[in-house]
Amino acid sequence: MSNFLRELRFPGAPLLFWLLLFLTFTTPFWDLGRPLLEVDDARYAEVPREMIASGDWATPHLNELDYVEKPPLWYWLCAASYKVFGVSEAAARLPLACLAVLGLLGTAWLGAWLFEARVGWTAAIMLGTSGLYFALGHFITPDMGLTVWLLWCSAFLLRALLRPQDAGWAAPAAWACSGLAFLSKGLVGILFPALWAASLALLFPEVQTRWRGLLRPAGPALFLLIAAPWFILMEHRHPGFLRFFFYEHHILRFATQKFHRSNPWYFFLALLPAGLLPWTPIVAAGIGRALADWRRRDDGRGLALAAWAALITLFFSFSSSKLVTYILPVFPQLALLGAAAGDPPRWARRCAAAGGAVLLLAALLTAPLVRLIPAGEMPAAAVPLATGAAALLGAGLLWWSRNPRPLLAGAAGGLLIGALGLIGMRVAVDTLSCRDLAAKISSRRAPADQIYTFRTYIHGLPFYTKSRTDRVLDWFGELEYADRDARLHEARFGDQSQIAALPLPDRRVFVVCRSGDAPVVLGLHPPGQALATRAFGRWTLIEY
């Protein structure tokens, strides 16, 4: 621990730098208690709530149905938070915020010993104020946990290779972090470190002789001790689980369109520059400098980080399943490349100025189009907020391109944009969260009453109503595993014939659907048979 703290020391840093650092490390805790957003935010808060309610910490459940698409580490962390602080939105997001801070600390430490303390702490500021990392520090998915454990794994792995005298503790620590990454998202937790280590051996032949330190038995044993028990238990409880998890949700997700998450091959190449804002130009300069240093044989540290980012980006670019969150694990290494580059070169500043001008022009051209959006399609303030964010970001890039203190300009812009995004989510709560809809159901619902959803499943309803959605009609989605059970299919799923059979003689039924599907639901009965109909943002509640 003393060595760890010594490597992070940064004597002589100005007070303004420490203020920026403090603000960056607090950002994951901003507005923890805002309503849960659909879809992932609510889903990954609800599964741990059901763990607490059922007492079953082994098999994850969603809507009281088996939900085993993801490993349980996030669920355990969130459920533990509920145990300590009670079930709430803030308690759901607290482990996420702690993970985000752990990622910032890991970035600072890796940069501190690989380069110098100034680079590490600067990279932490850049990472915490970059658009995608800031967003996923406030929006619950397993990808933040995966990113953090992979970051620490890569830091320990690199330490073992570059400083063989530390391999005795660094190698087992790398294996342990890989096990935690495996428990966060599956096979990529071991695949990415293994492929990266192999690529380092090809790029830098001198490290090939140091592999033995990584392969000492203690490391793999620690990995298995962390990662294997849950999978063994699940296969025992649910025969065929391992095939479902590894074949269907890894191989088929990568190789086929089964999960309908297709995007063009260049999706992540286009996403990365946007997600890195406002630091895109300086990260590009850092990548260029790393390649130039390697070609001159001056320094290979930057290339090692660039290889990590390139490997993961290429892997997901070839995948048939592409989501925005998948690319987050490259952000810490890219932030380090940007911080190591020092002051941005002239071409990077010119690119920032051009990008800022384009964003400002787009904001000016978009503003008059607000009045053309049909009423009810989105919150009235959503487009002005988005336009304002684009204008602010554009102005920030222009300021950054001419500012003699680029770290101050970039961090200030990132913090302002992040704060504006959180305000925007509060403004758009009716469209993004089902909290008010659930409150209406709870206020009118008797114990025997039931809740149906039609052509959708709203993940936050069980969280806010503290009860299951009784029937999911004409939709399966994330509940596909449970739908394979014929008994469950008959009892918990169905089609519009269940709506046509309403009203039930002895209970009230609340049917929730997207507003565009409300005419279909209402058309199954004579006019006036529904007791009440009310819109909540993009959803409609129909009561029988």
Residue type, 192: F
Structure tokens at 274: 């946007």
Pair 208, 201: CB distance under 8 Å: yes
Q: How far apart are CA 366 and CA 387, in angstroms?
A: 7
Same domain for 493 and 516?
yes
Other beta carbons less than 10 A from residue 3's beta carbon: 9
Pair 537, 431: CB distance under 8 Å: yes
Position 290 scores a pLDDT of: 83
Residue 96 lies in a domain: yes
What is residue 243's DSSP assignment? I
Which of 404, 431, 458 is at the close of a domain? 431
Q: Which domain holds residue 412?
A: 349-431
Residue 47 lies in a domain: no
Same domain for 467 and 375?
no
Which of 431, 448, 478 is at the close of a domain? 431
Quote the distance between the C-alpha of residue 314 and its chain's center: 19
Position 173 scores a pLDDT of: 95
Same domain for 20 and 127?
yes
Residue 44 lies in a domain: no
Closest among 122, 156, 151 to 4, alpha carbons compared: 156
User: How confident is the model over 508-522, as pLDDT tens digits?
Assistant: 999 999 988 999 999
Same domain for 530 and 441?
yes
Same domain for 130 and 268?
yes
Q: Say which residues have a Cβ less than 8 Å from residue 445's Cβ, sequence separation at least 6.
A: 451, 465, 467, 508, 510
Residue 52 lies in a domain: no
Same domain for 134 and 158?
yes
Q: Would you put residue 64 in left (φ > 0), alpha (ψ -120 to 50) or beta?
A: left
Residue 183 lies in a domain: yes
Within 13 Å of residue 356, how many CA atoms lie on the same side as its CB?
22
pLDDT tens for the chain, residues 1 to 544:
556 667 777 777 788 888 889 999 999 999 999 999 998 999 999 999 999 999 999 999 999 988 988 999 999 999 999 999 999 999 999 999 999 999 999 999 999 999 999 999 999 999 999 999 999 999 999 999 999 999 999 999 999 998 888 889 999 999 999 999 999 999 999 999 999 998 988 888 777 777 777 888 899 999 999 999 999 999 999 898 999 889 888 888 777 776 666 778 888 898 999 899 888 888 988 898 888 877 766 667 889 999 999 999 999 998 888 889 999 999 999 999 999 987 666 766 676 677 667 766 766 666 565 554 544 444 555 556 666 666 766 776 666 666 666 777 778 878 888 888 888 888 878 788 999 999 999 999 998 999 999 999 999 999 999 999 999 998 877 777 766 766 766 778 888 889 988 888 888 999 999 988 999 999 888 887 878 889 988 899 999 9
Q: Would you put residue 508 in left (φ > 0), alpha (ψ -120 to 50) or beta?
A: beta
Q: What residue has token string 């709506």?
A: 499
Q: How many domains does the chain have?
A: 3
Residues in the chain: 544
- Helix, coil or strand: residue 66: strand
Residue 371 lies in a domain: yes
Same domain for 304 and 450?
no
Same domain for 318 and 457?
no
Which of 284, 307, 340 is at the close of a domain? 340
Same domain for 89 and 225?
yes
Q: What residue has token string 């658009």?
A: 131
Same domain for 154 and 241?
yes
Residue 60 lies in a domain: no
User: How confident is the model over 120-169, as pLDDT tens digits?
Assistant: 999 999 999 999 999 999 999 999 999 999 999 999 999 999 888 888 99
Residue 51 lies in a domain: no
Same domain for 100 and 233?
yes
Same domain for 377 and 426?
yes
User: How confident is the model over 237-274, as pLDDT tens digits?
Assistant: 989 899 988 988 888 877 777 666 677 888 889 899 98
